[in-house]
Amino acid sequence: MATTTTFKATDAQEAQPANWTRWLDLSDRSLAVLLLFPAAVLLALIIVYPVCRLVYTSFFNLSLTSGLPAEFAGLDNYRLMIGDPVFWETTWNTVLITLITVPGALLVGLGLALMANLSFAMQWPVRLSLLIPWALPLSFAGLIFAWFFHSEYGVVNDVLNRLGFEGIIWFNSPNWAFAAICLTIIWKTSSFMALIILAGLQTIPRSLYEAADVDGAGRLRQFFEITLPLLKPSIVVALIFRTITALQTFDIPYMMTGGGPGTSTSTLAMYIHQNTVSFLDLGYGSALAVVMFALSMCVTAVYLRMIRTKE
Amino acid sequence: MSMTLASGSTSFLSGKPLRLIAAGILLINGMFPALWILFTSLKTETELTAKPISWIPHAPTVQNFVQAFSDQPLHVFLFNSFMVALLSTALTLLVSVLAAYALARLNLTYRGLILSLIIAVSTFPLVTLLVPLFEIMRALNLLNSWTALILPYTVLSLPVCTLMLVSFFEGIPRDLENAAMIDGCTRMGALFKVVVPLCAPGVFTAGILAFVNAWDEFLLALSFNSNPSLRTLPVGIQLYQGEFAFPWPVISAALVVGIVPVAILIVIFQERVVSGLTAGGIKG
């Protein structure tokens, strides 16, 4: 009896370090699985499962206000969507915002980057002037610019008045409200574009410009034949990410106009939110989200293909 | 790839007056909106409604700030925003450090595929998850809780932070870890005692990025946490709006209070933020 107990104790003592070492000697592959596990769980819980559920829900009549249980509806939600003028209007607004603000932010950002690339005695104020708009929450930017474009006390109309023009009642007209939103988005996002382009600018070797100088190429020609072509990769990446975020536009119009007047400045994201949170119509909200998902994934597919061809 | 905004050398523009004009435009473009809100927050109601409007407040008052805190529980909004941002940043960093180490150091068969997947996820529109996440949070009884925001915010920053950390980890020589492991460190010990400290600036940058992402997020916070005591700052700030009145000086004061913490963060760590943004955190 006694011997057995002693034997067992020694066995346990020896087994423990042995197990511990085995744990340390995990093959790279098992360790990798272990390390990637938390990220995989989070992605599965917050993205993979919800996406599957989204597609599933979009085939159901599921409205929390009706109190009725979910009922399979087939393509009803999608049929409803095709005949829904608000869906088309909000989608068109989203596409229009993307088509205006992405190139707009690129042009402004390119200008800002070229200016920020000049040599200044002090770098930090310049850097800060690009970082502050980036770090400012979109919702704050929406409120700040709503105040900027205020018809009576707004600084924009004040400047217009001082220059001898009549002030504009920005938020009463669909077109002016839309313009104000686009200007705000361009301001908010151009600084980020500028930061990315600036990083690209600083990788261009100075010698290229010196050689061009020797060859007698003017500044403008240098810009179009050296600067722009070499900037192309960083510009393309910035453009794609901006396009994807532009398709999701919510905060700025929500804060500035609430989608008004009427639904003239409402975006697809706002319509999804409205159907989900205000009307609690989860089935229809899901169908709308599936459309946005598809739009967004198309852009991502282009992006992935470009990365792959680059490698 | 570490990059700072060194003095430019490759511009096609030059000349001193031109530089002054450029600096002026950059500063006005970047700072004016924030400055204008600061000016507005210091104005009295009478000064605000004077015509033509005065640009600089002539009789600055802190009354709007006092009112911003008394009209709405601004300190509660601040606290919620801060805690949600801080906790999701911590979780993001922990999870992405582990994942990035696996991707940078262990020879994975599907490394390329996993990296492509991460890039794909980083472009994911969070709006589309509104409905299913709303259902999940409702089912788990998590609506009106910090957790309802911390989990999605962590996933929001996870891809970008992981990609960034992979590039930072790859810059650390493997010999350093091997030496630590020969000295008796475990592999995880080597990661947290050698690799992470050496990459501290990179980890820190990823952290700032995650923090700013969480601090800015509005849609999910608006949809999931409507309980007044759990509202975050961007959501809470809307409450100042009355049915007919829009108390702009008070709202401006609340906005200033919300901008200052992030502005301080950016001022202190500007160089790191820039290098991080350009190294791998391509998302705006």
Note the pLDDT tens digit of each residue in A2-58: 444 444 444 444 444 444 444 555 677 788 888 899 999 999 999 899 999 999 999
Cβ atoms A130, A187 nearer than 8 A: no
Q: With 50 as the cut, is the pLDDT of residue A169 above it? A: yes
Residues of A with Cβ-Cβ distance to B37 under 8 angstroms: 144, 147
pLDDT tens figures, A177-198 = 999 999 999 999 999 899 889 8
Preceding omega of B52 cis (within 30 degrees of 0): yes
| A114 → closest Cβ in B13, B95, B273 | B13
Q: With 70 as the cut, is the pLDDT of residue B97 above it? A: yes
pLDDT value of residue A309: 67
pLDDT tens figures, B242-261 = 766 788 889 999 999 999 98
Chain B residue nearest residue A185, CA to CA: B284
> How confident is the prediction for chain B on average, in pLDDT?
84
Q: Which band of pLDDT confidence, cut at 50, 70 and 90, is reported for residue B280?
A: low
% of chain A residues with pLDDT over 90: 47
Cβ atoms A108, A118 nearer than 8 A: no
pLDDT value of residue B6: 42
For testing contact with chain A, the best of B19, B53, B131 (most A CBs within 10 A): B131
pLDDT value of residue A9: 43
Q: Which band of pLDDT confidence, cut at 50, 70 and 90, is reported for residue B7?
A: very low
pLDDT value of residue A13: 42
Q: With 60 as the cut, is the pLDDT of residue A277 above it? A: yes
pLDDT value of residue B9: 44
Mean pLDDT within A268-288: 92
| B125 → closest Cβ in A125, A247, A276 | A247
Enter the tokens of residue A86. Answer: 């608000």
pLDDT tens figures, A117-133 = 888 888 888 888 999 99
> How confident is the prediction for chain A on average, in pLDDT?
86
Number of separate helices (H) and strands (E) present in chain B: 14, 0
- Count of C-beta atoms within a 10 Å radius of residue B110: 10
| A137 → closest Cβ in B107, B125, B216 | B216
Q: With 60 as the cut, is the pLDDT of residue A288 above it? A: yes
State how far the alpha carbon of B190 is from the alpha carbons of A17, A32, A37, B144, in Å: 20, 15, 19, 40
Q: With 60 as the cut, is the pLDDT of residue B168 above it? A: yes
pLDDT value of residue A67: 74
pLDDT value of residue B279: 63
Identify the bridge partners of residue A281 per DSSP, sorted by sequence position. Answer: A63
Q: Which band of pLDDT confidence, cut at 50, 70 and 90, is reported for residue A311?
A: low
Mean pLDDT within A243-263: 92
B187 in contact with A at a CB cutoff of 8 Å? yes
Cβ atoms A300, B123 nearer than 8 A: yes
pLDDT tens figures, B44-96 = 888 887 777 788 888 888 899 998 998 889 999 999 999 999 999 999 999 99
Inter-chain touch B53–A158, beta carbons under 8 Å: yes
Which of B199, B210, B258 is CA-nearest to residue B69? B258
Q: How far is CA A166 from the centre of its chain?
A: 36
Count how many pairs of residues, chain A against chain B, have C-beta atoms within 8 Å. Answer: 323
Q: Which band of pLDDT confidence, cut at 50, 70 and 90, is reported for residue A175?
A: very high
Q: Which of A65-69, A215-219, B28-32, B138-142 has the lowest mean pLDDT?
A: A65-69
pLDDT value of residue B177: 81
Mean pLDDT within B173-184: 82
Q: With 50 as the cut, is the pLDDT of residue B281 above it? A: no
Which of B209, B113, B143, B36 is CA-nearest to residue A276? B143
Q: Which band of pLDDT confidence, cut at 50, 70 and 90, is reported for residue A1?
A: very low
pLDDT value of residue A176: 95
Contacting residues for A9 by C-beta, under 8 A, at least 6 apart: none
Q: With 70 as the cut, is the pLDDT of residue B140 above it? A: yes
pLDDT value of residue A179: 96
For testing contact with chain A, the best of B1, B2, B12, B231 (most A CBs within 10 A): B12
Residues of B with Cβ-Cβ distance to A115 under 8 angstroms: 13, 22-23, 25-26
pLDDT value of residue A92: 96
Nearest CA distance, A92 vs chain B (angstrom): 17
pLDDT value of residue B225: 86
* Burial readout A287-300 (b: 16 or more C-beta within 10 A, e: otherwise): bbbbbbbebbbebb
